[in-house]
A and B are shown apart, each in its own frame.
Chain A
């Protein structure tokens, strides 16, 4: 409050989210999920602010953020391609799909394309095992994906970007 005028907007946002979830159970998840969804990364200022609100060391919040696959400390792309690598998908060749995505996008799993638009991730089971192997892009789930279809999905990702 004492530095309200020149407070970083990230800190303000984090504090407002924190205050909007009065129940302490699940509070940190709520704030971080919201921040990750809005900005596609968790800023250092937000971590500082959350540590202050929770009354814990900064390290503790940062370890929490680092612990979970969904949070990132650097921005991920607008378009997130997630290749499911659950047991059923794996047994049906999800690593070949991943390889194909990597070679088409020119990035490794977990990385973001040079223009910062597309991020490729390997995720653990999305629970759609009956249509293995599965690729998730935004709200869309592609089932029974074959290596030859990866090209279409990438094409779509690039088109979506330019809209």
Chain B
């Protein structure tokens, strides 16, 4: 007898919490904390301390990172207000307003009195987005199982457990058209079925591994999904365990994400306590366990075969595929390796149905994708759009980017996409045809003030350091490539360096065993393809973006300088000369190019010249 009642009781308790008005929530993800949300929360907690009818919840991040610290006040059913960026001072003001209002008839005007400057309109901050996963992030306390159940959480799990019919789960997932969100875009339904088949054929129990080793710099959607809604990720994993008839899963998390790691461990403990994990889950007689494995900092571990080796305690070097992990994975057992965002979508597919899921996005690319939009846009943060949405919509309409030169999509294995190609739809095949990849969804926007050559050097250097060192083409080739690019940025490259780089690209592509090596050259090859003239300029010693330290010098704009000598006093190289009240000058021979002077000048008088 399966005790689905447990889930209903939890949901009822959670619904009560969520409908306790007024309810104030503070976004406390890693990004919120970096923006100072802890002090906002503390100020609210202190000011509301004696006020019993106001509920205060620490929640995750809804993706509106550009306006953090974020506070949301739910005044009544379907009526709430978003405030940001908040400060402790404004938080006290808000608390005073809440205390002053009549609790039975709260109205928004009264709550936001004196805070109108930080009121955010939902239809403005969420414009052009299709929010499915992010919709629930920032709504509930991440570690409240009751609140998660009130959102419909674990209803799909309970009914799958009740039915015990794996075949229908595979069918549903296949019909939804859900594809892996980690980069490769393999169909989730087909992958699950392959693991189940291998498991049935050999009579070996399958294992599930969540790849939360979000290694692409500039991508943090997985971190946010874990921090904001850990139970959804875990429910996805548990649905996989039900479908595969398996009892063991692991989440492999990056060490750079301490909050995500702690959140997962606590969430798992809460599920064990509630009888949703452990022996005899909900009285079904089945045992299910999820372990957390914390990595120690290695990009290559994001590759599934390397990840499995690391979990086994071996040096994480990717191996040749096939056999794929679905056949031979952890300890040789059939293993389902999936990405955090993929697993987060799974409960929604089963809860709302495959046809609902496939109605979002475009044919062949169903559902939404969360992108992390960073770099030179006014509105940095996480955005969610249906697959097939144009790049321009995300970068320009949602991010409000101006003077955009290019966007780096997909991290160190991804590409540079120039502004003239922004009509490109964000979907797997289209991007691949254009020489780019979806990757895990990192979009770093670059305006005219950024140097493509320098960023290519950075990404090549990143990949060279990340190389596991097995294949010489990748290990030595990437290092040489990064060195040549460095020479270009320093103005010390020999003529013919660009041709040499092109040759190396070819060699690395052909001589690398795993995809990390093969695709590590994609940033530089795409940069060369779209921005070749910038490389050629570097070869003859000029950087149009005035970024490369070897190709620029600092000058003081004599018309702007007020002679206050802030720069002179802070210059570590004693390179600045000048008398009080008179414009100063910089001795380029002594200048260390540390750019401290630019930072300290209140008049913006120090400029970089080519």
Known contacts A24-B313, A25-B250, A60-B314: A91-B376 contact under CB 8 Å: yes
Q: Are A25 and B312 in contact (CB under 8 A)?
A: yes
Q: Are B216 and A130 in contact (CB under 8 A)?
A: no
Known contacts A91-B444, A130-B31, A130-B380: A29-B310 contact under CB 8 Å: yes
Tally of contact residues, B, Cβ under 8 A: 66
Q: Are B599 and A147 in contact (CB under 8 A)?
A: yes
What sequence of 0s and 1s flags, for each residue 299-340 of chain B, a beta carbon within 8 Å of any chain A beta carbon? 100000000001111111000000000000011000000000
Residues of B within 8 A of A67 (CB): 298, 315-316, 468
Known contacts A68-B295, A127-B220: A91-B450 contact under CB 8 Å: yes
Residues of A within 8 A of B292 (CB): 26
Q: Are A25 and B256 in contact (CB under 8 A)?
A: no
Q: Are A131 and B297 in contact (CB under 8 A)?
A: no
Residues of B within 8 A of A100 (CB): 594, 596
Q: Are A142 and B408 in contact (CB under 8 A)?
A: no
What sequence of 0s and 1s flags, for each residue 80-110 of chain A, a beta carbon within 8 Å of any chain B beta carbon? 0000011111111100100110010000000
* A5 close to B (CB within 8 Å): no
Candidate in B291, B374, B598 with the most chain A CB atoms within 10 angstroms: B374
What sequence of 0s and 1s flags, for each residue 13-57 of chain B, a beta carbon within 8 Å of any chain A beta carbon? 000000000000000001101110000000000000000000000
Residues of A within 8 A of B217 (CB): 85-90, 124-125
Rounded to whole angstroms, the CA-CA distance of A24 and B248 in the bound complex is 13
Q: Are B330 and A25 in contact (CB under 8 A)?
A: yes
> Chain A's nearest CB lies how many Å from the CB of B99?
31
> Chain B's nearest CB lies how many Å from the CB of A163?
21
Q: Are B34 and A68 in contact (CB under 8 A)?
A: no
Q: Are A87 and B315 in contact (CB under 8 A)?
A: no
User: Which of B293, B313, B374 has a CB less than 8 Å from the CB of A130?
Assistant: B374
Q: Are B311 and A148 in contact (CB under 8 A)?
A: no
Residue of B nearest to A94 (CB): B458
Q: Are B599 and A29 in contact (CB under 8 A)?
A: no
Residues of B within 8 A of A92 (CB): 375
User: Which of A26, A125, A142 has a CB less than 8 Å from the CB of B220?
Assistant: A125
What sequence of 0s and 1s flags, for each residue 177-199 of chain B, a beta carbon within 8 Å of any chain A beta carbon? 00000000000000000000000
* A27 close to B (CB within 8 Å): yes
Known contacts A25-B312, A64-B313, A88-B217: A125-B599 contact under CB 8 Å: no
Residues of B within 8 A of A141 (CB): 30, 33-34
Known contacts A29-B295, A64-B314, A147-B596: A124-B215 contact under CB 8 Å: yes
Residue of B nearest to A131 (CB): B34
Known contacts A27-B313, A91-B446, A96-B595: A129-B380 contact under CB 8 Å: yes
Interface residue SS majority, chain B: mixed
Rounded to whole angstroms, the CA-CA distance of A132 and B217 in the bound complex is 12
* B68 close to A (CB within 8 Å): yes
Residues of A within 8 A of B462 (CB): 124
Rounded to whole angstroms, the CA-CA distance of A159 and B458 in the bound complex is 34
Known contacts A87-B408, A125-B216, A141-B33: A29-B293 contact under CB 8 Å: yes
Residues of B within 8 A of A96 (CB): 594-595
Q: Are B299 and A127 in contact (CB under 8 A)?
A: no
Residues of A within 8 A of B294 (CB): 26, 29-30, 33
Rounded to whole angstroms, the CA-CA distance of A146 and B315 in the bound complex is 38
Residues of B within 8 A of A129 (CB): 31, 218-220, 372, 374, 380
Tally of contact residues, A, Cβ under 8 A: 50
Rounded to whole angstroms, the CA-CA distance of A131 and B66 in the bound complex is 8
* A28 close to B (CB within 8 Å): yes
Known contacts A29-B310, A100-B594, A148-B599: A70-B214 contact under CB 8 Å: no
Q: Give the number of A-B contacts (CB < 8 Å).
A: 169
Rounded to whole angstroms, the CA-CA distance of A64 and B311 in the bound complex is 11
Candidate in A54, A87, A132, A146 with the most chain B CB atoms within 10 angstroms: A87
Residues of B within 8 A of A63 (CB): 315
B542-564 at interface with A (beta carbon < 8 Å): none
* B223 close to A (CB within 8 Å): yes
Q: Are A124 and B299 in contact (CB under 8 A)?
A: yes
Rounded to whole angstroms, the CA-CA distance of A86 and B411 in the bound complex is 10
* A75 close to B (CB within 8 Å): no
Known contacts A71-B296, A100-B594, A125-B220: A148-B570 contact under CB 8 Å: yes
What sequence of 0s and 1s flags, for each residue 378-401 of chain B, a beta carbon within 8 Å of any chain A beta carbon? 001100000000000000000000
* A13 close to B (CB within 8 Å): no
Rounded to whole angstroms, the CA-CA distance of A147 and B298 in the bound complex is 28
What sequence of 0s and 1s flags, for each residue 81-95 of chain B, a beta carbon within 8 Å of any chain A beta carbon? 000000000000000
> Chain B's nearest CB lies how many Å from the CB of A9?
23
* B455 close to A (CB within 8 Å): yes
* B487 close to A (CB within 8 Å): no
Query: Which A residues fall within an 8 A CB radius of B?
Result: 23-30, 32-33, 36, 54, 60, 63-64, 67-71, 85-93, 96, 99-100, 103, 123-132, 134, 141-143, 146-148
Instruction: Add 14 more A-B contacts to A124-B215, A130-B31 (CB < 8 A).
Output: A26-B250, A26-B291, A26-B293, A29-B313, A30-B293, A70-B297, A87-B218, A91-B375, A103-B572, A125-B256, A129-B218, A131-B31, A131-B68, A147-B594
Query: Which B residues fall within an 8 A CB radius of A?
Result: 30-31, 33-35, 65-66, 68, 214-220, 223-224, 250, 252, 255-257, 291-299, 310-316, 330-331, 372, 374-376, 380-381, 408, 411, 442, 444, 446, 450, 455, 458-459, 462, 468, 570, 572, 592, 594-596, 598-600
**Which 6 pairs show the lowest CB-CB distances between chains A and B?**
A130-B65, A86-B217, A26-B293, A69-B297, A127-B220, A68-B296
8 A-B contacts (beta carbon < 8 Å):
A23-B291, A24-B331, A36-B296, A100-B594, A124-B217, A128-B34, A130-B31, A141-B34
